[in-house]
């Protein structure tokens, strides 16, 4: 097995924010396992007759321009959303894509000295709520695709995979895992492990799909790390506590690690790799700081 993966060339920035294209909402359903304090949708958008059609890859993202203007009276800036489907789209022909928006809903928290410290009014994120409200047939201004690094490798069958997600960071992995297991040429025989982190079991995303895939494909293993119930673990704790299970996968020079979700989640993983003497190949020392190699792909925001 190679120790340095190569990645395919992809299209980038075909549609710019100055000249967005119009997609159409197709469906917009909650994708949480149960009743949750969060609202997270599986949003499906028709991009046929736009340059996005046929030109996106699992792991890339696309931009959404919410209508209206910001507090300064300027049009809203583009927000990025991960593509949650395989490269052949939701329709098999790459004319329809999907994503996993989470409504940003909170009490206002002062962000600068100019903000009133006593203001705790309802705070609603602009674009996440716009996208979660999108109905079938609604137009939506789109840009992209974006991202050229967080992709499946050029030759996917010569690698094994550890996918680690927190929350909506699962979006790209839904697409990648479907692409590995449900491709028209037949399923990859690669070992594929998904570790999904969520506060409660009810917050798990796309859970029925992953349970079904784990039942059907013996090479796909689905693990959940719940941070506020049961043993209360983060994704890295789950891996550390089950090292006998994960060690052969991590020690394999063909394994690739993908991490997506909350900024900072990678630190627990890096610590575990170093402590278990498994960092070689995944991390390199850069001026005293651990930096991921091409075998450890990060998308954390
Ligand atoms: C590559 C990439 C992929 C992404 N993929 C996804 C995805 O698949 N799903 C997803 O849901 N998101 C995703 N995001 C995040 C997404 O781009 C948006 O940032 C997110 O949806 C919030 O946008 P918004 O317009 O709703 O919020 P905004 O209106 O932009 O509000 C959020 C901003 O307001 C401020 N703020 C936050 N909370 C408060 C508060 N309580 N009081 C006052 N101010 C506050 C912060 O500065 C914050 O940046 C991704 C981001 C990147 C970079
Ligand atoms: N392509 C991308 O770059 C991309 C795509 C999609 C999403 N995202 C980003 O991913 C984030 C997902 O947020 P969310 O609101 O969906 O998640 P969330 O529900 O708030 O959190 C998911 C889980 O992660 C846990 N967690 C918190 N800090 C952690 C840490 N340091 N290490 C490990 N686990 C940790 C949480 O635990 P507790 O809350 O109990 O502490 C919770 O169990 C957002 O910031 C979003 O912008 C990025």
pLDDT by residue (tens digit) across 5-27? Answer: 999 999 999 999 999 999 999 99
Confidence of residue 212 (pLDDT cuts 50, 70, 90): very high
Which of 195, 235, 262 to mutate for ligand 2's pocket (most ligand atoms within 8 Å of CB)? 262
Could you read off the pLDDT of 217-257 as tens digits, one per residue? Answer: 999 999 999 999 999 999 999 999 999 999 999 999 999 99
Name which residue sits closest to atom 53 of ligand 1, judged by CA. 80
Task: Return mean pLDDT, the chain.
Answer: 96
pLDDT of res. 2? 55
| Mean pLDDT, residues 124-149 | 98
Asked whether the beta carbons of 162 and 278 are under 8 A apart, the reply is no
Q: Which residues line ligand 1 (CB under 6 A)?
A: 61, 79-82, 99-102, 104, 106, 108-109, 111, 123, 125-129, 168, 171, 301
CATH domain 156-300 topology? Rossmann fold (3.40.50)
Asked if residue 297 has pLDDT above 70, the reply is yes
Give the pLDDT confidence score for residue 286 in this predicted structure: 82
Indicate where the chain has its CATH 3.40.50.80 domain(s).
156-300
* Rounded Cα distance, 239 and 245, in Å: 8
Unique residue bearing structure tokens 């928006």 = 101
In the prediction, which pLDDT does 288 show? 81
Q: 89-101 pLDDT, tens per residue? A: 999 999 999 999 9
Where in the chain do CATH 2.40.30.10 domains reside?
21-146
Going by alpha carbons, the residue nearest to atom 30 of ligand 1 is 125
Average pLDDT over residues 68-75: 96
Residue with tokens 């013996």: 218
User: How many angstroms separate the alpha carbon of residue 147 from the centre of ligand 2?
Assistant: 20
Centroid of ligand 1 to alpha carbon of 251 (angstroms): 36
pLDDT for 285 equals 86
> Which class would CATH give 21-146?
mainly beta
Pair type for strands 255-261 and 283-286: unpaired
* % pLDDT > 90, the chain: 96
Task: Name the region of 231 (left: φ>0; alpha: ψ -120 to 50; beta: rest).
Answer: alpha
Residues 6+ apart with CB under 8 A from 1: 158, 159, 252, 253, 254
């Amino acid at each position: 097995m190679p120790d340095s993966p190569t990645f395919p060339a992809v299209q980038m920035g075909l549609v710019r924010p100055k000249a967005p294209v119009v997609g159409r909402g197709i469906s917009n359903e909650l994708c949480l396992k149960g009743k949750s304090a969060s609202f997270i949708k599986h949003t499906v958008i028709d991009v046929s007759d736009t340059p996005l059609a046929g030109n996106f890859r699992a792991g890339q993202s696309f931009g959404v321009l919410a209508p209206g203007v910001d507090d300064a009276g300027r049009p809203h800036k583009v927000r990025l959303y991960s593509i949650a489907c395989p490269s052949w789209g939701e329709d098999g022909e790459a004319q329809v894509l999907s994503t996993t928006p989470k409504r940003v809903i909170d009490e206002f928290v002062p962000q600068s000295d100019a903000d009133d410290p006593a203001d705790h009014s309802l705070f609603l994120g602009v674009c996440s709520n716009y996208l979660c409200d999108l109905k079938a047939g609604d137009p939506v201004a789109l840009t992209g695709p974006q991202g050229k690094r967080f992709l499946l490798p050029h030759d996917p069958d010569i690698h094994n995979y550890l996918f680690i997600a927190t929350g909506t960071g699962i979006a790209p992995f839904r697409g990648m895992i479907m692409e590995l297991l449900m491709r028209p040429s037949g399923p990859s025989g690669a070992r594929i492990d998904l570790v999904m982190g969520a506060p409660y079991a009810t917050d798990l995303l796309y859970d029925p799909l992953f349970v079904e895939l784990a039942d059907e494909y013996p090479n796909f293993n689905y693990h959940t790390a719940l941070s506020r119930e049961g043993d209360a673990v983060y994704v890295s704790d789950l891996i550390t506590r089950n090292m006998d299970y994960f060690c052969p996968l991590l020690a394999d020079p063909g394994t690739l690690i993908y991490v997506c979700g909350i900024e900072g989640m990678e630190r627990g993983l890096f610590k575990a790799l170093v402590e278990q003497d498994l960092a070689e190949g995944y991390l390199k020392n850069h001026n005293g700081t651990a930096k991921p190699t091409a075998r450890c792909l990060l998308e954390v925001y």
